[in-house]
Amino acid sequence: MAADTKARVKELTEALKNTYHITPGLAVVIVGDDPASRVYVNNKKKACEAVGFVSEEYALPAETTQEELLALVETLNSKPDINGILVQLPLPKHLDDKAVIAAINPQKDVDAFHAVNVGKIMLGEYDFLPCTPAGVMEMLHSYQIPVEGRECVVIGRSNIVGKPMGMLLLHENGTVTICHSRTKNLAEVCRRADILVAAVGIPKFVKADMVKEGAVVIDVGMDRDENGKLCGDVDFENVKDKCSFITPVPGGVGPMTIATLMKNTLKACKLQNNIAD
């Protein structure tokens, strides 16, 4: 699915270049040397190359100040050839990620984290959707899994995944419960779910006894198990035979997240150049 999405973006990018002589541009800012962030940034650069975008990487040292980072964002806001700005999170602890996100021009906020874009998502009148929840919805649509009228449980309430995920399921008439560390009887709540989305950041947190027979299980986690091997928030081996659909880690939601980022950047380029979709 991710490959199909990127192929479509590549096709549309070629048409944009041929008709308007415009190439979408994405700037990725990474501060410090977090190994997981480095992997994500490299994957985003590869995806940009694959679809024909211009990609610019700004790798800043861990001791970068708030002022320096905000100055870079301001420079990128005013660059006409940069349509999308992505600041890789998490930032080092001395930096204020909220202020950095607020500084990004909402039209270039291809992660859809800016308050303006978050508000539009709440209203259901958005330009961009956060890449991971949008990728999840794309998977549900592609496999013709209905959301309407079904019990949807999201574990995790982050601004990046949990909250927008709940909102997108709600927009499609799902009955949504968002769980978190203070939820009572968590396993019981999860067992009600027809669609269960795990975005909690704890390796193999979702056990087989938390999953209803025939449920659709979406694993957003990217963790490492006790042997240092990549795994998700779901105990895949013990859960997979119980559900109707399950996403693997790696190779499930991750590739869809990056494919959606490419779609968002293309859309941003068209919006900024007043080109009809």
Which class for 28: exposed (0-12), middle (13-18), buried (19 or more C-beta within 10 A)?
buried
- The 3-state DSSP class for residue 12 equals helix
Task: Identify the weakest region by mean pLDDT among 29-38, 103-112, 253-262.
Answer: 29-38
Mean pLDDT (the chain) is 96
Second-level CATH architecture of 131-254 = 3-Layer(aba) Sandwich (3.40)
User: What is the spatial order of strands in the sheet that 151-155 belongs to?
Assistant: 175-179, 151-155, 195-198, 216-219, 245-246
pTM: 0.94
Backbone angles phi and psi of 246, in degrees to 5: -150, 145
Q: Is the pLDDT reported for residue 255 higher than 80? A: yes
By annotation, the residues acting in catalysis are 44, 88, 111
pLDDT digits (tens, 9 = 90+) for 72-97: 999 999 999 999 999 999 999 999 99
* Confidence (pLDDT) at 35: 84
* Confidence (pLDDT) at 178: 98
Please state, in angstroms and rounded to a whole number, the distance separating the CA atoms of residues 246 and 215: 9
Terminus-to-terminus CA distance in the chain, angstroms? 21
Domain with CATH 3.40.50.10860 in the chain: 2-105
Token output for 27: 């700037």
H or E stretch covering 55: strand 54-60
Domain with CATH 3.40.50.720 in the chain: 131-254
Q: Is the pLDDT reported for residue 275 higher than 80? A: yes
CATH of domain 2-105: 3.40.50.10860
* Confidence (pLDDT) at 161: 96
CB 47 within 8 A of CB 259: yes
CB 1 within 8 A of CB 256: yes
